[in-house]
Structure 1
Amino acid sequence: MQPYILVMEDEDALSTLLQYNLEKEGYDVAVAADGEEGLMQVDERMPDIILLDWMLPKVSGIEVCRRLRGRPETRNLPIIMLTARGEESDRVRGLDTGADDYLTKPFSMVELVARIRAVLRRIRPGLADDRVGHGDIVIDRVAHRVRRAGTEVHLGPTEFRLLDHFMRHPGRVFSREQLLDAVWGSDVYVEARTVDVHVGRLRKALDVGGSANPIRTVRSAGYSLDLEH
């Protein structure tokens, strides 16, 4: 089940960017442009985590946080505050109001996603499944599912383990022998050329929407996961 994130942000360009990138990471995302609308959306569907802008129109982010913390049903709802205010006193005030974490604009999507996972892992461990992303690929080890650019990718068990190994070490080149040990196990006899067959299947499965194939062949060395070549 995808964690549901409610983004309360009045800056259209930023909320669109957040929604696009978080959906690419495999989250279910909704957006509210002001605090009043955000509170209504919480009543309609309880989010798993809220990204809350400090300076919201109608009802401020601080007030939204205060109201949510004052209601029994939303008292433990994870909240990450987003704000241009970087002063220590403002950060403390946001955390004192009940925010679980605090991110000052501008921030990178990599940092935001890491913070979301950390908060979910700490507060809602059941939702912080073992999901790892690299570029536009997201692998969910618990659900045994893979998505690329938002599209589900169907892999056999060996291809899944192969991709999982590459995702743990992006950019690193592995020889066929190293991949055999890591994916098949050192006590199983499999010909080295078998790796080529499964890498070929993995490449074919990851060929989504004309995107560059992420599995790179390194002459006389092996293979690597490289989304920037």
Structure 2
Amino acid sequence: MPTALITGATSGLGAAFARRLAADGFSLVLVSRDEQRLSESADQLKLRYGVAAEVLAADLATEEGLARVESRVAGGVDLLVNNAGFGHPGRFLEVPVEDEVRMLKVHCEAVLRLTLAALPGMRERDRGAIVNVASVAAFFPRGTYSASKAWVVNFSESAASDVGNPRIKIMALCPGFVRTEFHERASMDVSGIPGFLWLKADDVVRETMRDLALGKRVSVPDLRYKAIVAIGRLVPRGLQARVSSSIGR
């Protein structure tokens, strides 16, 4: 039975990935900071899908937590989903530097180290897949969040090219607004976001798995966001920044 490790697995996209992969017959390794919530999620998945679900409580913003997950990934996984992440409610100059560095630790360093930990085993087995969750924000200039997600996209494409093995897939996932706890946790006001721009987590995961099977290196789920990204590439960067700043992340 293949094994999937998912970071940020107890809510939002992480929980949706866990449900989908359990339904597909994967054994799961669920990673999150909240041990109680992890255990509850694992019990529910075991009961509903009859799969093994291991829990690993760890904070990827700390060296100890990241090293623990890194060690587990190096022990062998068939699918790695680097999903853990968070946002800040304020603009760049309003956020304490230690909070910005913590974001870079989770969004960039953790993705880098866990990807590198997974690849030796995947290359030895000649198969495997890695999904690095970025964001549509990666294509628009908007503070450290979008900058970190742009790094995830570039890194994923570069890693896939360097590995050069179609049986080892590395893909950046770039969703738009998804109905999850993400914005509430970051104390972000999303009341001004039009209803038609919101996506369901399960729909995003379904499109992600399809794009992964097709060998895509960047996945932008939903035609609405594909159009937004395509149009954004035609708009001067200065205008992009002004628009992005006015409407938020």
TM-score range (shorter-chain normalised) is: 0.3 to 0.5
TM-score (norm 2): 0.35
Give 1 or 2 for the bigger CA radius of gyration: 1
> Higher helix share goes to which structure?
2
TM-score (norm 1): 0.37
> Higher strand share goes to which structure?
1
**Highest RCO, 1 vs 2 (Cα 8 Å, sep ≥ 6):** 2
